[in-house]
Amino acid sequence: MSQIVVLGSANMDLVTRQPRLPEPGETMAGTGFATGAGGKGLNQAVAARRAGADVVFIGAVGDDGFGRELRGFLEAEGVAADRLATSDEPTGIAQVSVLDGGENSIVIVAGANGESALADGDAAAIAEASALVVQLERPLPLVEKGLSAARAAGVRTVLTPAPVDPAAALLLPLADILVPNESEALALSGETDVEAAARVLSATAGTVIVTLGARGSLIARGGEIVSRVEARRVEAVDTTGAGDTFVGVLVAWIVDAAELDDAVRAATAAAAIAVTRPGAAPAMPTRAEIDAALA
């Protein structure tokens, strides 16, 4: 497969399992705790790598135990981590609350992910890629620099607008593929209907793929809805990282010259597998598992 560069965040996830979110001032007994590699950028890089792609990760971690653990995790997964900088700031963390039904809520502390410089070597790595994948857990100016470098080099760009930021609307013309979920699509477009949102966004970005959870996804281009892909029915255990699994696998299929609808179906199958397992990056399926699900 061709090379994918992921410019994004690397966090240590601190995950509690609990029956519900606590009320203000309430102390609640949880049912489990775990730590694990996370961050939208790292997650997408691992998903693409497990799907068979050659992946380079551009990010930053602190000179601390969490940072060393994340670097080791990426290397063990086969993701090239020589562009993973060591910051004076601590490694970013995500406090993830997973509820009994599998839904989650997340609080992020950026730490080293707040670094906003794009090194010369980073720009060179982007220019050599087949696709650049970015999200919004890094500073917007850095994301814009990465997208602009890719566009100047003729590299396909993929943007996940999460966590959603209205200012990210300025990035849409730099995105060949935009992959928001429903709430992100509504927030970015200012619409109240998801189909209208997809049409509006696709008039500015290239192709827009809106993920709709159990309702599948819809694809828009040039201001029109062009396709829909149904979801797969599974019993969800933990939805953390499902969207990142979708994006990583989607791009892995695309750089391998798959048709877009086929890439979306593969991404849908991969996300369905991931939500049946606990954790984010550790739950992501291999290429063999995705192929078996598609078959």
Q: What is the CATH number of the domain that holds 175?
A: 3.40.1190.20
**Residues 269, 231 contacting (CB under 8 angstroms):** no
Those residues whose C-beta lies under 8 Å from the C-beta of residue 120, and which sit 6 or more positions away, are none
Q: How far apart are CA 285 and CA 51, in angstroms?
A: 7
pLDDT of residue 2: 66
Q: Which of 54, 122, 176, 244 is catalytic?
A: 244
What is the span of the domain harbouring residue 43? 3-22+29-294
In tens digits, the chain (295 residues) has pLDDT values of 469 999 999 999 999 999 998 899 999 999 999 898 999 999 999 999 999 999 999 999 999 999 999 999 999 999 999 999 999 999 999 998 988 877 888 888 999 999 998 988 999 999 999 999 999 999 999 999 999 999 999 999 999 999 999 999 999 999 999 999 999 999 999 999 999 999 999 999 999 999 998 899 999 999 999 999 998 888 877 777 899 999 999 999 999 989 999 999 999 999 999 999 887 788 899 999 999 999 9
**Is 240 labeled as ligand-binding?**
yes
Q: Count the Cβ atoms, other than its own, within 10 Å of residue 226.
A: 15
* Number of domains within the chain: 1
pTM here? 0.92
**Is 137 labeled as ligand-binding?**
yes
Those residues whose C-beta lies under 8 Å from the C-beta of residue 197, and which sit 6 or more positions away, are 185, 186, 188, 189, 191, 210
Phi-psi category of 15—alpha, beta or left, where left has phi over 0 and alpha has psi -120 to 50?
beta
**Is 150 labeled as ligand-binding?**
no
Helix/strand/coil for 176: coil
- Which DSSP category does 31 fall into? S
For 41-68, give one letter per residue: b (16+ CB within 10 A) or e.
bbbbbbbbbbbbbbbbbbbbbbebebbe
pLDDT of residue 1: 45
244 is catalytic: yes
pLDDT of residue 54: 97
**Is 40 labeled as ligand-binding?**
yes
Calculate the alpha carbon distances from 16 to 29, 34, 105, 258 in Å.
10, 7, 10, 38
